[in-house]
Amino acid sequence: MGGDNLVEVTDSTFEKTVEKSSLPVLVMFYSPTCVHCRAMEPHVREYAEVFAGRVLFARLDVIAGQWTAERYGVRSTPTFKFFCSGRPILELVGAVYPALLKRMVEDGLQNGKECVTHSTAVNYDITGYA
Protein backbone atom coordinates (compact mmCIF):
# COMPACT_ATOMS: atom_id res chain seq x y z
CA MET A 1 0.00 0.00 0.00
CA GLY A 2 1.21 3.56 -0.76
CA GLY A 3 1.07 4.61 2.90
CA ASP A 4 3.88 2.19 3.73
CA ASN A 5 6.18 4.10 1.35
CA LEU A 6 5.72 7.47 3.12
CA VAL A 7 7.94 7.68 6.21
CA GLU A 8 7.22 10.05 9.09
CA VAL A 9 10.42 11.80 10.26
CA THR A 10 11.17 13.96 13.29
CA ASP A 11 13.96 16.31 14.36
CA SER A 12 15.79 13.34 15.87
CA THR A 13 15.38 11.01 12.86
CA PHE A 14 15.81 13.53 10.01
CA GLU A 15 19.60 13.24 9.73
CA LYS A 16 19.67 9.45 9.55
CA THR A 17 16.57 9.08 7.37
CA VAL A 18 16.99 11.99 4.95
CA GLU A 19 20.48 13.50 5.03
CA LYS A 20 22.30 10.17 5.19
CA SER A 21 19.95 8.21 2.93
CA SER A 22 21.49 6.18 0.11
CA LEU A 23 18.42 7.09 -2.00
CA PRO A 24 17.23 10.53 -3.06
CA VAL A 25 14.50 11.76 -0.70
CA LEU A 26 11.41 13.90 -1.23
CA VAL A 27 10.34 15.53 2.03
CA MET A 28 6.90 17.03 2.51
CA PHE A 29 7.00 19.61 5.31
CA TYR A 30 3.41 19.80 6.56
CA SER A 31 1.18 20.96 9.37
CA PRO A 32 -1.66 18.79 10.72
CA THR A 33 -4.06 21.75 10.43
CA CYS A 34 -3.05 22.66 6.85
CA VAL A 35 -5.91 22.12 4.39
CA HIS A 36 -3.55 22.23 1.39
CA CYS A 37 -1.30 19.61 3.00
CA ARG A 38 -4.24 17.25 3.35
CA ALA A 39 -5.15 17.88 -0.29
CA MET A 40 -1.60 17.09 -1.46
CA GLU A 41 -1.00 14.01 0.71
CA PRO A 42 -2.87 11.50 -1.53
CA HIS A 43 -0.65 12.55 -4.46
CA VAL A 44 2.49 12.26 -2.34
CA ARG A 45 1.42 8.76 -1.28
CA GLU A 46 0.71 7.82 -4.90
CA TYR A 47 4.16 9.01 -6.04
CA ALA A 48 5.77 7.27 -3.08
CA GLU A 49 4.43 4.05 -4.53
CA VAL A 50 5.30 4.93 -8.16
CA PHE A 51 8.92 5.78 -7.28
CA ALA A 52 9.36 3.07 -4.60
CA GLY A 53 12.92 1.75 -4.54
CA ARG A 54 14.26 4.81 -6.40
CA VAL A 55 13.18 7.67 -4.12
CA LEU A 56 12.33 7.69 -0.42
CA PHE A 57 9.29 9.80 0.45
CA ALA A 58 9.14 11.33 3.92
CA ARG A 59 7.07 13.90 5.73
CA LEU A 60 7.86 16.14 8.67
CA ASP A 61 5.29 17.85 10.90
CA VAL A 62 6.61 21.43 11.20
CA ILE A 63 4.88 21.90 14.56
CA ALA A 64 6.63 18.92 16.14
CA GLY A 65 9.80 19.33 14.06
CA GLN A 66 10.33 23.08 14.37
CA TRP A 67 14.12 22.84 14.52
CA THR A 68 14.44 21.01 11.19
CA ALA A 69 11.81 23.19 9.51
CA GLU A 70 13.68 26.31 10.61
CA ARG A 71 17.03 24.84 9.56
CA TYR A 72 15.75 24.36 6.02
CA GLY A 73 13.93 27.70 5.82
CA VAL A 74 10.41 26.31 5.68
CA ARG A 75 8.05 29.28 6.05
CA SER A 76 4.76 27.79 4.85
CA THR A 77 3.11 24.44 4.32
CA PRO A 78 3.16 22.35 2.36
CA THR A 79 6.77 22.73 1.30
CA PHE A 80 8.38 19.96 -0.76
CA LYS A 81 12.16 19.57 -0.84
CA PHE A 82 14.04 17.04 -2.93
CA PHE A 83 17.30 15.85 -1.33
CA CYS A 84 20.12 14.17 -3.21
CA SER A 85 23.13 12.90 -1.24
CA GLY A 86 21.71 14.64 1.82
CA ARG A 87 21.44 18.07 0.21
CA PRO A 88 18.25 19.90 -0.77
CA ILE A 89 18.45 20.60 -4.49
CA LEU A 90 14.84 21.32 -5.54
CA GLU A 91 11.87 22.94 -3.80
CA LEU A 92 8.17 23.57 -4.40
CA VAL A 93 5.94 25.51 -2.00
CA GLY A 94 2.17 25.33 -1.69
CA ALA A 95 -0.59 23.21 -3.11
CA VAL A 96 1.00 22.72 -6.51
CA TYR A 97 -0.36 20.77 -9.44
CA PRO A 98 0.44 17.10 -8.75
CA ALA A 99 2.11 16.87 -12.18
CA LEU A 100 4.63 19.53 -11.05
CA LEU A 101 5.49 17.47 -7.99
CA LYS A 102 6.00 14.38 -10.13
CA ARG A 103 8.14 16.38 -12.55
CA MET A 104 10.29 17.65 -9.67
CA VAL A 105 11.00 14.06 -8.61
CA GLU A 106 11.80 13.03 -12.18
CA ASP A 107 14.12 16.04 -12.61
CA GLY A 108 15.80 15.28 -9.29
CA LEU A 109 16.42 11.70 -10.34
CA GLN A 110 17.78 12.76 -13.72
CA ASN A 111 19.94 15.71 -12.66
CA GLY A 112 20.32 15.44 -8.89
CA LYS A 113 23.78 13.90 -8.64
CA GLU A 114 25.25 16.48 -11.01
CA CYS A 115 23.63 19.29 -9.03
CA VAL A 116 25.05 17.96 -5.75
CA THR A 117 28.60 18.18 -7.06
CA HIS A 118 28.12 21.95 -7.34
CA SER A 119 26.54 22.48 -3.90
CA THR A 120 27.91 22.87 -0.38
CA ALA A 121 28.16 19.80 1.84
CA VAL A 122 26.31 19.63 5.15
CA ASN A 123 28.63 20.16 8.12
CA TYR A 124 27.63 17.52 10.66
CA ASP A 125 29.93 19.01 13.32
CA ILE A 126 27.35 21.77 13.79
CA THR A 127 24.09 20.07 14.64
CA GLY A 128 21.06 20.37 16.87
CA TYR A 129 20.22 16.71 16.64
CA ALA A 130 20.00 14.74 19.86
Catalytic residues: 34, 37
| 88 touches 81 (CB < 8 A) | yes
| 94 touches 76 (CB < 8 A) | yes
CA angle, 72 then 78 then 83, to 5°: 45
Q: How far from 18 is each of 33, 35, 97, CA to CA, in Å?
A: 24, 25, 24
